[in-house]
Structure 1
Amino acid sequence: MPALYSLLFVLGLLGNGAVAAVLLSQRAALSSTDTFLLHLAVADMLLVLTLPLWAVDAALQWVFGSELCKVAGALFNVNFYAGALLLACISFDRYLSIVHAMQLYRRGPPTRVTFTCVAVWGLCLLLALPDFIFLSAHRDERLNATHCQYVFPQAGHRALRLLQLLAGFLLPLLVMAYCYARILSVLLVSRGQRRLRAMRLVVVVVVAFALCWTPYHLVVLVDTLMDLGAWSRNCSRESRVDVAKSVTSGLGYMHCCLNPLLYAFVGVKFRERMWTLLLRLGHPGRAGPSRQPPSSRRDSSWSEITEASNSGL
């Protein structure tokens, strides 16, 4: 796991840094979806910044003290929640735009999407309060090592697991599934083939989220059921659950590196603007106005859906 965490740290930092750079290079023309994606890239970068600390914890023990334990745990969970909730915001924005032909952010003041993002971050900070309060560098006498872990009654641990399952996975996933099911049904009925092609990136991103995080949350659910006595616990089963949690959490962390790859391979305009940015950095003296004429419509950096449905993704 330490080697995997180190690799994900490098890939996640480089990939999401590239996404943020491309978006910020077009910040005067960011759509609502681009703004959400910028915050998503920041959330993923902040999450992977904690991975080297967890790599040391897994390989040796926690050597950074209780204060950094609280900060690292809270930072991790803030951005874990933010990633899921921002994807749900994108889904809801697309749902209003296509199903109800309602441009919630495009027709409102620019501060509306900013306020939504601030509200998401504020909610995530509230959800991470248990980390600030209960995380501590705790000496485990059985393992003869110090690890960053929660110090509170078992009932509190179960409540925290259920909170992460509901707020960080299940509810956002249900919002995404409902919104995109309605969107696809509307587009299929209207034979909006261009819109369907343009929606492929956002559907792939949501599917990637589900595939990466579902196994981990299923394992956590099994562990919680064992704690509640609904499923008998024994040493062999507990050992298998611990191994499964380690493996599936690594799969979940891979999601932070996966989004930039999806943008690069599926998002046409992302590739174009990434190439333009690289050329501009390589030949700063030649940097001039973009060959694309200015437009009052804020095109997305990720696909051609703007022309089809006035959306940003």
Structure 2
Amino acid sequence: RVTEMSNDAYILSGEEAFDLLENISFSSDYYNGSDTCCSVPPCTSKSIQAFDRVFLPVFYSLLFPLGLCGNCMVMAVLLQCKRSLAGTDVFILNLALADVLLVVTLPFWAVQAVNGWVFGTGTCKLVGSIFKINFYSSIFFLVCISFDRYLSIVHAVHMYKRNKSHLMVASCLVVWGICVLLTMPDFLYLEVKQDYRLNITLCSHNFSSNTSLRWKTSLRICYHMLGFFLPLVAMLYCYTCIVRTLLRSHGFHKHKAMRVILIVVAVFFLCWTPYHLALVANTLIDLQVVGRDCDREAVLDIILSITASLGYFHCCLNPLLYAFVGIKFRNKFLELLGHIGCVSHDFLHRHVQTPSQRKDSTWSETTEASYSGL
């Protein structure tokens, strides 16, 4: 309720004043990666816009062919022996599929960095949702791999035997289903919006003005917890127990195939940790826990672009890790090239190691069953 005073001023009730301030302060969902407060003059976004127009198209143009070809190679190698895929192999196959789908969205974001979003609202919802689904699925399948190794080594329980294919399929469907549910807010609220400060159209969330900050903060917390911190804790626990069990039984040297999975998980967190730390800093600015400073925010915006790109680069690294660390995967890839006529039989004879030639890799019966795809 507004009360008119004799000096032509107006007094708002406390609740109305709060609503008005919230509407003014957080009317935009996209602003330098953060919302702005009415009490602080708007910061210019020219520096990050100029940086993104050059950096993102070039970097994404390199990631797209590398990630697409590398992960398709992983899928081809695994699918050629689909009748003998173990549980870990099935999860790696789904991990490669998630990386392929994530990489496919990169050209859309590269175009947005240069010309704004020109593909329409429907494509915005679809591409944004696919991107988020496959980010979550990548981390969740790494957790599944870690849990499978934990059960088989620490508790000697083999959940995903080859004769239990229905259990593998059910687990993968549950993971994909959870990822779709977590992405529903993106599908519902992603829209093409005109950002008047940047003078560009963007594919971004369009929440109602009086709930913008609340929604954004809630999604950020969900993103941090489910997409990074909780999986990190789960995998650290699993691999700590695994290493302790192997050392206690003096069997660590018999599980050299474990190095592939350990390196894959370590690389994931090395690639994504800087981005999440930068995003936490950005969230603290949004919540006004940290004071606003235009120069500092401009640097943080550039850091967010670089660290996010480092995270996307992770999609290209797994195939390289399999090829250079996993002896058995490398052998199967060379055999696949031989089947399609890319290399000669003499080349295969010289470079593909037989079981008797690679005793140092210690592919015992247990590891053979557990890591047939690596």
1:6 aligned residue: 61
CA contact (8 A) 1:195 1:308 kept: no
1:130 aligned residue: 185
Deviation (angstroms), 1:107: 7.5
Q: Quick one: structure 1 residues 107 and 65, their matched pair in 2 at CA, closer, same or farther if it must change by over 3 Å?
A: closer
SS of equivalent to 2:370: coil
Mapped to 2, the partners of 1:40 and 1:115 lie a distance apart of 15
Deviation (angstroms), 1:306: 5.8
Deviation (angstroms), 1:191: 1.2
Q: Quick one: structure 1 residues 186 and 305, their matched pair in 2 at CA, closer, same or farther if it must change by over 3 Å?
A: farther
CA contact (8 A) 1:194 1:308 kept: no
Matches within 5 A, 1:1-313: 1-106=56-161, 109-152=164-207, 153-282=212-341, 307-309=365-367, 310-312=369-371
Measured on the aligned residues, the alpha-carbon RMSD in Å equals 2.0
User: Per-residue displacement from partner, 1:213-239 (whole Å, max 9, x unpaired)?
Assistant: 000000111111111222112211221
Q: Which runs of 5+ in 1 are unaligned?
A: 294-302
User: Per-residue displacement from partner, 1:157-195 (whole Å, max 9, x unpaired)?
Assistant: 111111111111111111111101110111111111333
Mapped to 1, the partners of 2:163 and 2:229 lie a distance apart of 30
Alignment-mate amino acid for residue 157 of structure 2:
M
Q: Quick one: structure 1 residues 107 and 219, their matched pair in 2 at CA, closer, same or farther if it must change by over 3 Å?
A: same
Mapped to 2, the partners of 1:304 and 1:39 lie a distance apart of 27
SS of equivalent to 2:197: coil
Mapped to 1, the partners of 2:295 and 2:66 lie a distance apart of 35
User: Per-residue displacement from partner, 1:222-273 (whole Å, max 9, x unpaired)?
Assistant: 1111112221122112212111110000000010000000000000011100
User: Per-residue displacement from partner, 1:259-291 (whole Å, max 9, x unpaired)?
Assistant: 00000000001110000000101179x9xxxx9
CA contact (8 A) 1:305 1:311 kept: no
TM-score by length of 2: 0.77
Mapped to 2, the partners of 1:136 and 1:235 lie a distance apart of 27
Deviation (angstroms), 1:307: 2.6
TM-score by length of 1: 0.91
Q: Quick one: structure 1 residues 283 and 73, their matched pair in 2 at CA, closer, same or farther if it must change by over 3 Å?
A: closer
Q: Quick one: structure 1 residues 76 and 228, their matched pair in 2 at CA, closer, same or farther if it must change by over 3 Å?
A: same
Alignment-mate amino acid for residue 152 of structure 2:
S
Mapped to 1, the partners of 2:271 and 2:221 lie a distance apart of 18
2:31 aligned residue: none
CA contact (8 A) 1:268 1:304 kept: no
Identity of aligned residues (%): 49
CA contact (8 A) 1:98 1:183 kept: yes
Mapped to 2, the partners of 1:211 and 1:174 lie a distance apart of 15
Deviation (angstroms), 1:60: 1.9
Tell me which moved more, 117-126 or 155-164: 155-164
CA contact (8 A) 2:255 2:362 kept: no
CA contact (8 A) 1:71 1:132 kept: yes
Alignment-mate amino acid for residue 122 of structure 1:
G
